Structure 1
Amino acid sequence: MKQSASYHPALDGIRAVCVVFTVAAHVKDTPWFINGSVGVDVFFALSGWLITTLLLDEWNEHGRLDLRAFYVRRFFRIIPLYALTISLYGAAAVTLSVVLGNTAEVDNFLSGFVYFSTFNGEYMNHQDGLLFGHSWTLGIEEKFYVLWPLLLPLLILGKRLAIPFLFLSICLLMVPAFAWGLLLRGYAGLGFGAMAAFMAWRSPACRQSLKGSATQPVTLALVLGAYLLSLIQPHPFLWNIAISMSAALFIGSIWLSGGTTRIKAVLEFNPFVRAGRLTYAVYLTHVLVINVVVLILSRFTDDPNWALSFALSYSFSLALGVFLNRLIERPFINFGRKLARGSRDSFPLRDGSKGFMLMMRRKDRQRGARS
């Protein structure tokens, strides 16, 4: 399948690494040297960068945003597989309750159903809806997808109202949370990614800094440094936010670098890229798979080994991800793109301009040629 010009396989490599940490975090008795919570912090930064960059590219080409096309693509990218996954978790809760001889799993699932079925999992009490509790990240991302395309044009046009309105929106979203720290992490990560992309678009100096030959190893070292500090100096959410900030710069350097670097070559390793394309399906279903694996292993031992539980859980999650990607995810993504393309066909090009970014890229190349 032909990939979009905006497709960067290294980002799928980053996704693949992150979801490994996420699965590891949800397997019982995770070793001390694995802080699996940081996977979602990198995801947030990546989403902020990617969505903002794609929106800015569209603005450059057309002078406005096709919000209908954007929301259509997001809907068919997220909702069909998400709805199916909720059904799978509901069926699993019933099955577990029958096997265990009590209604605890069903009660727990129902206690969180209203929240995660409406993409408000971040507002659940952390004791409710545990079987699908990781949906809190999707709740934060969905609100970002709804609000950010509406606010971004204000920033582009230099409207002074944009920043206070953005700040007020985030404050209102955080007010009813039981775990406000999760929201702080989420919106900080998305914000770092979005602002890095916006500054790279607006400022040639920022763009040149991110493209510098030393930027990738330096920003990667910052990510790894913050990760190590999260292990030896645990401060709730401090290092998670530091990881998001440094990850936003690292992702920007990967996106803007023209050639192949050693770091990009590793991230573009084909197995990483293939696994990264399954990230959404794996993320949605991995807790379900972990429960099944633990249930099976418990028949043979009272204390399942963590490494074995993790290896089986990750492997089966990938296998299920392949099935769901081919059966549900990819067909609906393509259908959403087709519907969005119909909107774009009637979307006028910006008269007399290839867009700010295209112009700046030409200037960057000219500057490089002179040097």
Structure 2
Amino acid sequence: MALTRGGNAKTAMRTGYRPELDGVRAICILFTVANHVPGTPRLINGSVGVDIFFALSGWLITWLLIHDTHDGRGAKLASYYIRRVFRIVPLYALTVILYGLAALALGFLTGSDAEILNFRDGLPYFATFNGEYMHQETGTLFGHSWTLGIEEKFYIIWPFIMVFLWNSRLFAVTALASALLSLIWIGQNPELLIRGYAGLSFGAALAVAASQSGRLRVRLQSQKTAWLALVGIAASYTGSLALPHLYLWNVGIAFFAAGLIGNLWLAQGEWLLSRALSMRPLAAAGRLTYAVYLTHVLTMNVVVLIMTKLNIAMPWMAVFVLSYAASIAVAYVLHRAVEKPLIEVGREIAKRSANRVTVPAFSTIALQSRHLSS
């Protein structure tokens, strides 16, 4: 039985650009921005956007690393880390500087050093991608960096385990679980850490399982799976509104989101939702998501400050629309001037590194012919 309708198994395994995933990112960032707007109605639980981001990230990095082995290039771990550094660090470092300047500006405008001290206390955490370990009252101006701290640690630990330890599955799983539990145990905010690592693990685990099972890939491609995932996300979201302090609802959203991401990746535009998420404006907004995520709180504070100085009272929806629009504008400039050029630099360096540094492939996770069809 073929993996895809009218296609072959190898086609189904390709790792080309998926605009529908950018569409997912574009929708999720709307929730994230709304979460930080003062006065957002309770019916909009903006915190759930990051839970879908976690599942998406876990699936994506895992699938792409597996695909490297499938194509016979081996797991070029050094190249992977180089690409991640150039993808994440430059724009992040610039954003930290911008938030620092904003704190100084707020201090000058208000005559208070509260924001300056707040940023100073949080800087050691920001600068080292450890925002998830800050006390909740520290570094609030850039407090949303907690998600990036979680993701970056997973990006380091999980690929290393995949490459060097996967020949012993039990040892690899034990090593990953031990590392993640240790990171959760030392934290001040276990709920946030559990949400993050659970979501990333759901996406990664499903990508591994799907890479080794043709039957699972066929099931993931079906519209039935997508609808079940959407119903699960909706039910978990409803639960998060009824019991907002029970973070396990967020874990549930990430669990079902992993199935939806797997469906969108494998179905490749075969049904209405996938085509809708692939619409050009939505995908274009999704490509700016990282820059929007980094800068939206700063941009929103500028919008609110200007409106306050002009004595203009605005409902939350107006603040949200203006903040999002301004964030998109700022993100577009940063994407074109910083993010995209440095991503290309990282790719070029990674290509040169790949020709010189190749680590052993994780053979037991490699896709053999018996896994490609069923």
Fold match (TM-score > 0.5): yes
* Deviation readout 1:321-352 (Å, 9 max, x if unpaired): 0000000000000000000111223577999x
Residue 212 of structure 1 deviates from its aligned partner by 2.0
Out of 245, 249, 255, the position equivalent to 2:259 is 249
Question: Are the aligned partners of 1:62 and 1:350 in contact in 2 as well (CA < 8 Å)?
Answer: no
Partners of 1:254 and 1:154 lie apart in 2 by: 30
1:342 aligns with 2:352: yes
* Aligned-pair identity (%): 46
Which AA in structure 1 matches 2:98? L
Q: Do residues 57 (structure 1) and 67 (structure 2) align?
A: yes
- Alignment partner of 1:318: what SS? helix
Partner of 1:319: 329
Cα distance in structure 1, aligned partners of 2:245 and 2:366 = 42
Distance in 2 (alpha carbons) for counterparts of 1:302 and 1:231:
31
Q: Is the 8 A contact 1:63 1:350 kept in 2?
A: no
Aligned 8 A contact 1:66 1:347 in 2: yes
Measure the CA separation in 2 of the matches of 1:332 and 1:359: 37
Matched, 1:21 2:26: no
Matched, 1:152 2:162: yes
Match of 2:200 among 178, 183, 190: 190
What's the offset of the Cα at 1:301?
A: 3.6
Query: Which of 267, 270, 281 is equivalent to 1:260?
Result: 270
Question: Alpha-carbon deviations, 1:60-92, whole Å to 9, x = none?
Answer: 223731111001000000110001001100000
**TM-score of the pair, normalised by structure 1:** 0.92
Q: Distance in 2 between matches of 1:31 and 1:225?
A: 19
- Pick closer, same or farther for the CA change 1:359–1:349 going to 2, 3 Å: farther
Deviation (angstroms), 1:6: 2.3
1:261-299 deviation digits (Å, cap 9, x = unpaired): 110111011111000000000000000001101101112
1:229 to 225, 239, 245: 239
- Equivalent-residue separation in structure 2 for 1:63 and 1:155 (angstroms): 18
| Contact 1:89 1:131 (C-alpha < 8 Å) held by counterparts | yes
Partner residue of 1:70? 80
TM normalised by structure 2 equals 0.91
Whole-Å separation in 2 of the counterparts to 1:362 and 1:159: 21
Change (3 A) 1:229 1:296: same
> Is the 1:66–1:344 Cα contact (8 Å) retained in structure 2?
yes
Change (3 A) 1:32 1:349: closer
CA contact (8 A) 2:107 2:113 kept: yes
1:164 and 2:174 matched: yes
Number of the residue aligned with 1:134: 144
| Residue 88, structure 1, aligned to residue 105, structure 2 | no
Q: What does residue 290 of structure 2 align with?
A: 280
- How many matched pairs? 359
Structure 2: unaligned runs, 5 residues or longer: 1-13
- SS of aligned partner of 2:373: helix
Cα root mean square deviation, aligned? 2.1
- Aligned with 1:180 (options 180, 190, 195): 190
Deviating more after overlay: 299-308 vs 186-195: 299-308
Unpaired segments ≥5 residues, structure 1: 365-371
Counterpart amino acid of 1:197?
A
Post-superposition CA distance 1:196-215 (Å, at most 9, x none)? 10110122232222122311
Query: How far apart in 2 are the matches of 1:124 and 1:182?
Result: 11
